[in-house]
Structure 1
């Protein structure tokens, strides 16, 4: 059974296909014949994930899932949130986003934050959501060169190093995306069989 991931990220698609059994094959938007950009105009991860998944499902009739994720800093009223990838504006830049977040947090004692991922599955029935979070704090400065996005300034709860310093294996075992994906894959393999 083919399932569309409302993305063209080949690395992500390959990773998900490795986790699924051979009854399922995840394909990209391009492989499904969708070449246009899908807008993400909403203020919540859930609404943006639903918009992307619903768009692809409506165009193809194939079961589709989408993911929206970002970093939430309560002291900044939830920013950068759904604007995590473009927090410092266009063109998108991890370095500029990180620098802006550190600047915006200057003088704040409260530096708690969490990454959130929301996966939305659209199959013609009521949309299903699978969520994962990873709590932590924002470091005072960039530490480490691993990962991407805000990883070099995000220290996950229970650790004293940033995601930029921790090994990919550690990050994968505790990340927001891994938690949401585990719930999603369990549902797919048990609920869509």
Structure 2
């Protein structure tokens, strides 16, 4: 089975390729010659995932899945949420985003946060969604140089290290994207059985 993962983010692609079973060949947007910016104009994480999957299906006529992920911080009323990638501006700079987050949380004792990923799968004429959540907290400073995005300041519940300090395998086991992908994979495997 070939399926397109609607992303230009090679870090995300690598992360997901490690989880998807051998029988599924994962293609990126580059592989289908989609170099345009896929719209993400919805006000929810789920809305963005659905919008991206629908866009690829309509314009490229391939089975695909798209994800959207946001970091939701309790003390900031769920910010940055759907705007996580552009939190500090349209340049989508992780360093700027982390700095803005730490500045906004400077005087907060409540550091509770969660990463949330929603995957929208467009298969044939049907659309399915899968949600993965990883709860944790925001650290007061950056730790580690692995991962990407907010990983250096996010520590999952029960862990003493940030996502940027643990291995990709460990992150995939406990992380939001890993959880959503596992649901997607289970669903795809159930189709093979039929």
* TM-score normalized by the length of structure 1: 0.90
Other-structure match for 1:153: 153
**Structure 1 partner of 2:92:** 92
The superposition leaves residues 109-144 of structure 1 with CA deviations (integer Å, 9 ceiling, x where unpaired) of: 211000111100012434101111110011112222
Cα distance change of structure 1 residues 17 and 106 upon mapping to structure 2, 3 Å threshold: closer
RMSD: 1.9
2:47 counterpart of 1:50: no
Equivalent residue for 2:67?
67
Aligned twin of 1:26: 26
SS in 2 for 1:136: strand
Cα distance in 2 between the residues matched to 1:47 and 1:145: 31
The structural deviation recorded for 1:181 is 0.6
Q: Is the 8 A contact 2:16 2:178 kept in 1?
A: no
Alignment of 1:163-182 (within 5 A): 163-182=163-182
Q: CA deviation at 1:74?
A: 1.9
Q: Are the equivalent residues in 2 in contact too, given 1:2–1:62 (CA < 8 A)? A: no
Query: SS at the partner of 1:103?
Result: helix
What is the count of residue pairs matched by the alignment? 192
Structure 2: gaps (5+ residues): none
SS of aligned partner of 1:149: coil
Q: 1:35 to 1:168 in 2, by over 3 A?
A: closer
Aligned to 1:112: 112
Equivalent residues of 2:15, 2:168 under 8 A apart: no
Aligned-pair CA distance for 1:58: 1.0
Give the CA deviation at 1:16. Answer: 4.1
Partner SS for 1:170: helix
Can you list the C-alpha shifts for 1:61-110, whole angstroms capped at 9, x where unaligned? 22111010121112111111111111111322111111100111121121
Mapped to 2, the partners of 1:103 and 1:83 lie a distance apart of 17
User: Does 1:79 pair with 2:93?
Assistant: no
- Structure 1 residues 166 and 30: CA distance shift in structure 2, 3 A: closer
